[in-house]
Amino acid sequence: MTPKNATLKTMKRALFVVLLAAMLPLAFTQTNNYFEISKNLDIYASLYKELNTYYVDEVQPSDLMRQGIDGMLNSLDPYTSYISESEIEGYRMQTTGKYGGIGALVRKVGRYITISEPYEGYAANKAGLLAGDKVLKIDGIAVLDKETDDISKLLKGQAGTNVTLNILRTQPDGSEKEMDVVVTREDIKIKNVPYYGMINAETGYIRLSNFTDDAGKEVNDALNELKAKNPSIKGIVLDLRGNPGGLLGEAVNVSNVFVDKNQPIVSTRGKAEEWDKTFKTLNSAVDVNIPVAVLINRGSASASEIVAGSLQDLDRGVIIGQKSFGKGLVQTTRNLPYNTKLKITTAKYYTPSGRCIQALDYSHKDENGIAAKTPDSLKVAFKTANGRVVYDAAGIDPDVAVDSKPMSKLAASLLSKNHIFNYATLYRAKNPTIAAAKDFKLTDKEYQDFVAYLANKEYDYATKSEELIKELETATKDEKYYEAISAELIKLKERVKNDKSNDLVKHKDEIRKILEDEIVSRYYYGTGRILLSFNYDADVMAALKVLGDNTEYRKLLTVQK
């Protein structure tokens, strides 16, 4: 045995002993599992040793171990994960919303990493970076064909340090000019409330995008300011759409803005007794009487569902939109050696009525590893404070459901091919200013300019009709009918193809809205998108209707006899 192999063998034995020792306290509390734990740790350590010694190619111990860890955790649920030392900073950013950097979103457009949105008022915006700028180099390092994760690491850094971006910027004639932009990094704090304001003279609006530190304070401050500046305010729209959640404590704090002190908001129950807790509001509310409409959709998850579920169960607000995601699992982090962490599901959470809205049962998976959904027949009914019936096991059902119109395949193709993004970049280069965000509208001529822009662009897509024709063609070939009807099928294909050429006209209203949204963001950033959306947002329209009719609002929150 070589000294190297002897050392490796010693290290592996030491690793096994450490792992076993770490498991012993738990093992002794679960006597029946002690033998299984020690046996499987022994097997794992021995297998690892054999792989490292005899596998034909050189293996990287850290990579091999990471694969093993990820495979083990993936068998549980998608929220239990290992956080390596190199990932700690990203994890902290997710929980605090803070990082040192330039304050901009980037995306991959073809071969280029491209600025997709500089945050208004932050370093990138101050330095003059624009959405659509293509990044060629960062501090002299070529980044063509790189991925966004790699670029984010180069852009982040200590506040006060400079980073030089060599970019290509679109000119009014469509050409591109190469230039350097020096950005001084800042401490970036992504706001939980990116916008609040008045939709009309009587209705306030608060957009809550995350639940990182101070989410409750930001909502509290926003409502206080709206009330102070608008004495005529009679209702609030709290927009939680697309909010993936975050800190459980901040969910309680957000609910506390509308629910008075000492009210139960959420309880948790886990295998360990320490996780059997009830979380109540701790402070006086800003306003316990103002009517509230909470907007949710499929992207509203976790902490968003705690807020929506608690306000629904306490009959404190009307929920509007589409069914929420259905994440009723609570994660905590456990410290591991070498500055690593384990994010682990430790409990399920329950709204004040006692329901858990977790949609998938990860303890029961099919042969493909897909978690089981709770069938409707097994869902349990619970009652709100006023006696309204609500159900568990499938997210939060809105009190007022609003149909979510699916995006056309044409629009999806134009977005995925970046044609709308790129056209907005060109439009911004040609037009230094536009109307106010809420008043902006593309003219018919400008829409035709976009159609002309697409003339030499590729954006192929298959319509539902084309897919059905293809299925029919396959079926007729399998059943030996194709020869008899092939001529008719060919004619049918041509008719659909000819009609498809008019899709830019048929879907004009949909595509124009998407275009207007992207263009407005180039001048007025995220705030502009929100202000423009008030003109056509179906969920907002439904909220205004409910909040504008106090009788209907109260009716929705009581049991109808």
Quick: pLDDT tens for 414-450: 999 999 999 999 999 999 999 999 999 999 999 999 9
Cβ atoms of 428 and 132 within 8 Å: the answer is yes
pLDDT in tens, 537-549: 999 999 999 999 9
Fold of 195-404: 2-enoyl-CoA Hydratase; Chain A, domain 1 (3.90.226)
The CA-CA-CA angle for residues 146, 149, 152, to 5°, reads 100
Superfamily for domain range 98-189: PDZ domain (2.30.42.10)
Q: Is 327 a catalytic residue?
A: yes
Q: Of 279, 284, 283, which is closest to residue 310 (Cα–Cα)?
A: 279
Query: Of the spans 29-33, 58-62, 223-227, which averages the highest pLDDT?
Result: 223-227
Whose CA is closest to 79, among 327, 335, 289? 327
Which of helix, strand or coil describes residue 348?
strand
**pLDDT tens across 170-196, in order?**
999 999 999 999 999 999 988 999 999
Active-site residue, 302 included:
yes
Q: Does the structure show a pLDDT above 70 at 15?
A: no
In this predicted structure, the answer to whether residue 20 has a pLDDT above a threshold of 60 is no
Whether the full predicted model's pTM is greater than 0.95, yes or no, is no
Closest CA to 556 of 352, 545, 307: 545
* Token pair for 491: 């004619």
- One-character DSSP codes across 167-218: EEEE-TTS-EEEEEEEEE-EEEE--S--EEEESSSSEEEEE---BSTTHHHH
Question: Which residues are CB-neighbours of 4 under 8 A, at least 6 positions away?
Answer: none
CB 310 within 8 A of CB 259: yes
- The whole-number average pLDDT for the span 235-261 is 97
pLDDT category at 501 given cuts 50, 70, 90 is low
CA 421 – CA 515 distance, rounded (Å): 8
Catalytic choice (313, 517, 537, 539): 313
At 389 the pLDDT is 95
Per the DSSP assignment, residues forming a β-bridge with 344 are 332
Identify residue 93 by its one-letter amino acid code: M
State the average pLDDT for the chain. 89
* From 300, 302, 310, 533, the catalytic residue: 302
Residue-level pLDDT at 26: 46
Q: Give per-residue pLDDT as tens, 459-489.
A: 776 667 767 777 777 887 887 777 777 777 7
* 539 included as an active-site residue: no
**Does the structure show a pLDDT above 60 at 311?**
yes
Q: Which of 310, 327, 399, 521 is catalytic?
A: 327
**How many CA atoms are closer than 13 Å to the CA of 51, on its beta-carbon side?**
14
